[in-house]
């Protein structure tokens, strides 16, 4: 799987660090989405393990009752990451400039990415890094809805339907032979599009694509 150059383009091609220079202490999905994500984490993550929360912010949506050996955070705004009480450590890095993570091979039991996969301009490289840092048997959970900063999402994502976006993330995993066949959890919104766009409660669809390092 290889995106074409035009599929990587963003409407706003200015430096991502400028766009994320100011903290946004909000959640970008509704409470229904967050509850489904936390329940999924509760089901798939194990206590006392090492977690990497990629492209994170001031909240990680991890179950409050679960304790982990280490939660490493990453994002583009240090002020948001500093506010995140679940992180033991964090670093700031623009993956569109440098997708290579400053993390050891096989060091994490889980890699999480919540509502951010749409901004990756070089997802092939990023997913290769996800594979590299996962322990054998470790899980990667990529979750997303239909919301985004439209001007910062790549063309391949902007122009795709929700079903096509699921297939896109599955293809990211499938491009690496070391991942298991991706599993999909999809809960589509039952609200009309207009109410979804207006942010009506319960309006956000929930998608998660999950794979394990073989």
Determine how β-strand 134-144 pairs with β-strand 89-92. Answer: unpaired
Which H/E stretch holds residue 88? none
Measuring CA to CA, how many Å separate 174 from each of 103, 123, 127, 158, 169? 23, 12, 10, 21, 9
Q: What is the pTM of this model?
A: 0.91
Per the CB < 8 A criterion, the answer to whether 90 and 74 are in contact is: yes
Closest alpha carbon to 91 in 61, 124, 117, 53: 53
Per-residue pLDDT tens for 26-83? 555 788 889 999 999 999 999 999 999 999 999 999 999 999 999 999 999 999 999 9
Distance of CA 16 to the CA centre of its chain: 16
Per-residue pLDDT tens for 150-201? 788 999 999 999 999 999 999 999 999 999 999 999 998 766 665 555 555 5
User: What are 64's two structure tokens?
Assistant: 């409050």
Per the CB < 8 A criterion, the answer to whether 183 and 169 are in contact is: no
Measuring CA to CA, how many Å separate 1 from each of 12, 167, 169, 210? 25, 11, 11, 18
pLDDT value, residue 19: 72
- Please list, residue by residue across 137-163, b when 16 or more beta carbons sit within 10 angstroms of its beta carbon and e when fewer do: ebbbbbbbbbbbeeebbbbbbbebeee
Residue linked to tokens 């207006």: 198
Per-residue DSSP letter, 33: H
pLDDT value, residue 22: 61
């Amino acid at each position: 799987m290889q995106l074409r150059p035009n599929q990587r383009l963003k409407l706003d091609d200015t430096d991502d660090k400028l766009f994320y220079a100011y903290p946004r202490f909000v959640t970008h999905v509704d409470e229904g989405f967050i509850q489904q994500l936390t329940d999924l984490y509760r089901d798939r993550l194990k206590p006392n393990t090492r977690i990497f929360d990629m492209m994170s912010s001031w909240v990680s949506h991890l179950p409050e009752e679960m304790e982990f050996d280490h939660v490493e955070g990453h994002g583009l705004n240090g002020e948001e990451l500093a506010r995140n009480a679940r992180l033991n450590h964090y670093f700031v890095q623009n993956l569109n400039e440098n997708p290579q993570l400053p993390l050891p091979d096989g060091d994490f039991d889980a890699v999480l990415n919540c509502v951010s996969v749409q901004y990756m301009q070089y997802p092939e490289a990023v997913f290769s890094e996800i594979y590299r840092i996962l322990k054998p048997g470790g899980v990667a959970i990529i979750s997303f809805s239909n919301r985004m900063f439209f001007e910062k999402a790549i063309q391949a994502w902007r122009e795709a339907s929700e079903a096509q976006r699921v297939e896109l993330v599955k293809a990211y995993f499938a491009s690496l032979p070391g991942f298991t066949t991706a599993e999909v959890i999809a809960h589509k919104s039952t609200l009309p599009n207009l109410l979804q766009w207006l942010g009506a409660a319960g309006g956000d669809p929930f998608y998660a694509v999950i794979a394990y390092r073989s």
